[in-house]
Amino acid sequence: MLETMPSELQSMQKKSVVRLVDDDPGVLRALSVFLGMADWSVRTYGSGRDFLSSPGAEPGCVVLDVRMPGMSGIEVQGEMKKRGLGLPIIFLSAHGDVELAVEAVRNGAKTFLVKPPKPEKLLAAVEEAVADNIARCRDLDYLRRLQGIWETLTPAEKEVAKLVAKGLQNAVIGDVLGISERTVRSHRTHIYEKLDAENAVEVSDFIRELDDLKGKYSSGGAEN
């Protein structure tokens, strides 16, 4: 479990929602009361379809029953992937469904807990899942900002920037791209201004950071 300071936990709880999805009203009621007493904001759904119809935009996680009538937890997981819903999933499974839950974890679920979950294990799983999701949201927001800055460059400036990032001199870049050294210098000036960079190292750092985040969140990344 992630080490979380009390102030950090309180901040997470203020900005996030734990979604409980189970066809058993008694389970929903019990888990909702328990998590609420631990200061988590909770939203309950009686079926997978109810959840998918209104998952909400807040960060957080999903506590999802594996076996439900109509639409199973595994099917909900698949639909979340199709829709690009990045909420971490904590599966709840009966003893007979452990194999299904293990497979769900292999397919990207955060973890699974056997029903009824032990209180301390549920709280630990929720805290870790929410922390991961908040970090993911932060990364994606930063990726969008970097991508927005990158898109202010013209296609020609992007080509030059990638070569500048490799440490090539203006004359060499000009030879590679078939343009004059004067044009390269002009592009380099605009690149530094637009990326708020002072030198080639900072251009390289910008591009590497952008590429790393795009690789990490490939489904949400855009092409250069």
Domain 151-216, CATH number (from 1.10.10.10, 1.10.3720.10, 3.40.50.2020, 1.20.140.10): 1.10.10.10
| Percentage above 70 pLDDT, the chain | 94
Query: Mean of the pLDDT values across residues 145-169?
Result: 97
Confidence of residue 160 (pLDDT cuts 50, 70, 90): very high
pLDDT (0 to 100) of residue 5:
54
* pLDDT tens, position by position, 6-52: 677 777 778 899 999 999 999 999 999 999 999 999 999 999 999 99
The pLDDT value given to residue 4: 59
The pTM (predicted TM-score) of the whole model is 0.77
- Do 96 and 159 form a contact (C-beta atoms < 8 A)? no
6-134 and 151-216: same fold?
Answer: no
Rounded average pLDDT over 153-173:
97
Q: What is d(CA 66, CA 144) in angstroms, rounded to the nearest whole number? A: 34
Domain spans, the chain: 6-134, 151-216
Question: Is pLDDT above 90 for 152?
Answer: yes
Res 104: pLDDT = 81
pLDDT of 216: 86
Q: Provide the pLDDT confidence category of residue 148 given band limits of 50, 70 and 90.
A: very high
Q: Cα torsion at 54, 39, 90, 220 (round to 10°)?
A: 60
Residues 6+ apart with CB under 8 A from 200: 164, 165, 167
For 91, counting Cβ atoms within 10 Å of its Cβ (0-12 exposed, 13-18 middle, 19+ buried), the class is buried
Confidence of residue 221 (pLDDT cuts 50, 70, 90): very low
Do 13 and 41 meet the contact criterion of CB atoms below 8 Å apart?
A: yes
pLDDT value of position 174:
96
pLDDT band at 146 (very low <50, low <70, confident <90, very high): very high
Interval 175-207: pLDDT, tens: 999 999 999 999 999 999 999 999 999 999 999
209: its two tokens: 């950071």
Q: Which two tokens stand for residue 133?
A: 């999701």
The per-residue pLDDT for 42 is: 96
CATH superfamily of 6-134: Response regulator (3.40.50.2300)
